[in-house]
Structure 1
Amino acid sequence: MEWTGEALLIGVRRHGESSVIAEAMVAGRGRCVGLVRGGRSSKLAATLQPGNTVQLTWRARLEDHLGAFTMEVLQSRAAGLIADRKRLYLAQTICEHLHLLPERDPHDRLLGMALDLIDHEPDAAALARFELVLLDELGFGLDLDSCAATGVTEDLTHVSPKSGRAVSRVAAEPYRDRLLPLPSFLSARGNASPDDLRNAFRLTSHFLDMHLWSPRQIDPPATREPLIDMLTRV
């Protein structure tokens, strides 16, 4: 078995004395894992940096085997990321989010968003939307199109923390203290204020923890909160 594809490296961990296990998001194939023999050598150190785009070849005797990767760099981002703490934290947070995806399940929309985020100036609104799409692709998408109580599609201001459905201003009024604020930029066009951005991450944090972090008994990405603080600071 063999295939070749363009991929975003999202993680590397040691395996034995000289090799590593690499994880990559591959267009059309999703999150793939493979052994890189000699991956701990200085020769491969610059290549095996999360955030790099590589041309990846996977080989194995059978489809369900771990398989081995060989790769060459198409776009090296490591130096640029190290020089910019916001971009570094953003790339690390995105890579950790992509670890949540099931193996070998294509998620090209998320891969495209991830590359766009990493290659541009850090954008808090874009990151919040990425987290919403992540939830959606994993089957836990929020319904922000209409009010859960009345069915109206305008003036949606809150979200139910249980159902993930939007609630209109009028319907939310008696229960405001039990609902999560819905920043308008997530459900409609418009600019986002620092408060809007903080509320957006409060929303995504709640549902990421409810559906992913707590059930899997894992911590949120260590870089996420510092990144959010930097991106929402006035």
Structure 2
Amino acid sequence: MEWTDEGILLSSQSHGETSSIVTLLTATHGRHAGMVAGGQGRRKSPLLQAGNHLMVRWRARLADHLGSLTLEMITPTVAPWLGDPEILALIASATSVTEASLPERQPMRALYAGLAALFALEEKALWGPAYVRWEMGLLQTLGYGLDMSCCALSGAKEGLAYISPRTGRAVTEAAAEPYIDKLLPLPGFMCGAPDWNDEDILKGLDLTGHFLSHHVFAHPQNRRLVPVDGMLPLARQRVASFYQNRVNSTAVVA
């Protein structure tokens, strides 16, 4: 058995004294693992950074075997952002969420394209909102998409401001007033508004995080990353903490 594809590296773990077992999201073969001989060596370790865009060749005697991987760099996603804690945290979160949420060996072409587009961003300011939108796309693909087409109570299409944590449907500020303490804020950039700040990104993370924890990670695909049902991967928790700390710092300065 053999195939060639392109993929995004999600994780790498040491195996024995010299090899590594890596997991990738591939363009046409879904989430797929394999062993990289010499993966712990100096020559190959730069390839095995989560987020890197790689050319992948997989070989195995039988289709259900782990198999071996040969990797070549296409784009070093991490290298341009070394020293930038925000972008590195977002890359780590995206790869962890992807690995923990997707079943193995099922093609996920739209999710692959979305993750590749996120990692290809060159403008730092776009990463935060783009990451939140990427999580929205993940929820949609997995069957837990948010409905922001119109207000669930009034039918209005403008002024959507909250999401029901139970149904995932949007409501306007006016319609939400009697239930506001039970709803999740919907930041404007998630509906197409051109401006945002750290508080908006944090609200977006809280919103998508609610549905990830209550639905996607209620039965996680990866117990190493999500050992407890309903828990977000640690890398995802760190992203929320990063923006929370920045919001708190801004409030103190103000």
Q: TM-score under structure 2 normalisation? A: 0.82
Structure 2 residue runs of 5 or longer lacking an equivalent are: 221-227
Structure 1 residue identity aligned to 2:203: N
* Structure-2 change in CA distance of 1:126 and 1:89 (3 Å): same
Match of 1:149 among 149, 153, 163: 153
Using the TM superposition, give the Cα deviation of residue 196 of structure 1 relative to its aligned residue in structure 2, in angstroms. Answer: 2.6
Q: Which moved more, 1:193-202 or 1:169-178?
A: 193-202
Distance 2:97 2:205 in 1: 14
* Structure-2 change in CA distance of 1:107 and 1:189 (3 Å): farther
Distance 2:48 2:194 in 1: 39
User: Which residue pairs with 1:210 in the alignment?
Assistant: 214
Q: Which residues in structure 2 correspond to 1:73-222 (within 5 Å)? A: 73-99=73-99, 100-119=101-120, 120-122=122-124, 123-216=127-220, 217=228, 218-222=231-235
Distance 1:22 1:105 in 2: 17
2:212–2:232 CA contact under 8 A, matched in 1: no
Distance 1:2 1:171 in 2: 56
Q: Which moved more, 1:92-101 or 1:106-115?
A: 106-115
User: Which residue pairs with 1:29 in the alignment?
Assistant: 29
1:124–1:231 CA contact under 8 A, matched in 2: no
Using the TM superposition, give the Cα deviation of residue 57 of structure 1 relative to its aligned residue in structure 2, in angstroms. Answer: 0.3
SS of the counterpart of 1:33? strand
Distance 1:51 1:181 in 2: 30
Using the TM superposition, give the Cα deviation of residue 46 of structure 1 relative to its aligned residue in structure 2, in angstroms. Answer: 1.7
Q: Which moved more, 1:124-133 or 1:214-223?
A: 214-223
SS of the counterpart of 1:46? helix
1:87–1:118 CA contact under 8 A, matched in 2: no
* Structure-2 change in CA distance of 1:172 and 1:50 (3 Å): same
Structure 1 residue identity aligned to 2:243: I
Does residue 71 of the first structure (1) align with residue 71 of the second (2)? yes
Using the TM superposition, give the Cα deviation of residue 230 of structure 1 relative to its aligned residue in structure 2, in angstroms. Answer: 6.8
Q: TM-score under structure 1 normalisation? A: 0.89
Structure 1 residue runs of 5 or longer lacking an equivalent are: none
What's the Cα RMSD here?
Answer: 2.2
Q: Identity rate of aligned residues, in percent?
A: 37
Using the TM superposition, give the Cα deviation of residue 92 of structure 1 relative to its aligned residue in structure 2, in angstroms. Answer: 0.8
